[in-house]
Amino acid sequence: MFLPLHDGIPLRNMKTPIMTRSLLVVCTVVYLFTFYGPLGPDAMVAGFGLIPSVLFGTEILPEGYPFGPAPLTLATNIFLHMSLIHLLGNMLFLWVFGDNVEDAMGHLRFLLFFLICGSVASLAHALALPASDRPLIGASGGVAGVVAAYLILYPRVRIWGLFLQGIPLRVPAYGAIGFWFALQFIAAFFGGDEGVGWFAHLGGFVAGALLIPIMRRHADPVQARVDAQELQAPR
């Protein structure tokens, strides 16, 4: 287990990570609407969650579900969370890593990046488990793309985080994120909790790694400063 806490990289291209904060707000509002809105959690998950067997047409939901075309659930499921722990975990990763990735891309490109990574993550889950009738929900696929982008942009930045049973450590991003990715890979292929979308995490991560070289700014002053500090640091 790994929970990031703080990285300390200042923003240089913008004053406020508008899209990162907006995503935090939207996911929180959707969570509250899920449990306190008129539809209720069961209808929200059935209508907006991604169900692989429904996506591929081998199963059909009752009349009235989903609330739009089934392919749309590749994106709508990203904003749903069914527990406070699930929501807080995803939002913590987005809070720590999202601002600097948004700073390296710009507001609109970051939003597009997040949605693409989340949708690719959903598709990866569906392709890995095409017959599943269990809904996939949560922002973790999009967040995994953000984590991959951060790793490529700032691999040597030291991150404070909690590891395993809550041990506080400050380690380079490549160590922290590498540890996180290894856990996802092992769980996906060697029998992790079936209630977690491990393949979505891997799919979002790969999507983020492929997209960041294309979608980042051509010149990132933050990255240049970090690289300079690394070169000057004593070995």
**CA–CA distances in Å: residue 103 to residues 1, 12, 173, 206:** 27, 7, 17, 20
**pLDDT at position 164:** 73
CA-only gyration radius of the chain, Å: 18
pLDDT score recorded for residue 220: 54
Domain 2-232 grouped into CATH 1.20.1540.10: yes
Q: What is the mean pLDDT of the chain?
A: 89
The more confidently predicted of residues 126 and 218 is: 126
pLDDT tens-digit readout, 41-72: 999 999 999 999 999 989 888 887 778 899 99
Q: Are 159 and 7 in contact (CB under 8 A)?
A: yes
Cα-Cα-Cα-Cα torsion 148, 203, 81, 28, nearest 10 degrees, comes to 40
What's phi and psi for 165, nearest 5 deg? -95, 30
Q: Please give the pLDDT value at position 231.
A: 40
Q: Quick check: bond before 66 cis, omega within 30? A: yes
What pLDDT is stored for residue 65 in this prediction? 76
Share of the chain above pLDDT 90, in %: 70
Say yes or no to pLDDT of 115 above 90.
Answer: yes
Structure tokens that stand for 189 in this block: 């292929």
pLDDT tens track for 182-220? 999 999 998 767 778 899 999 999 999 999 999 998 655
Instruction: Compute the average pLDDT of residues 94-110.
Output: 96
pLDDT at position 229: 53
So what's the pLDDT on residue 38?
Answer: 93
Domain boundaries, the chain: 2-232
pTM: predicted TM-score of the whole model, two decimal places: 0.89
Stretch 165-187: mean pLDDT: 89
Beta-strand relationship, 2-6 and 158-163: antiparallel
- What confidence score (pLDDT) does residue 61 get? 86
pLDDT at 79 over 90: yes
Cβ atoms of 138 and 84 closer than 8 Å: no
Neighbours of 27 (CB within 10 A): 21
> How confident is the model at residue 132, as a pLDDT?
93
Is pLDDT of 223 > 70? no
pLDDT bracket for residue 30 (50, 70, 90): very high
At 230 the pLDDT is 47
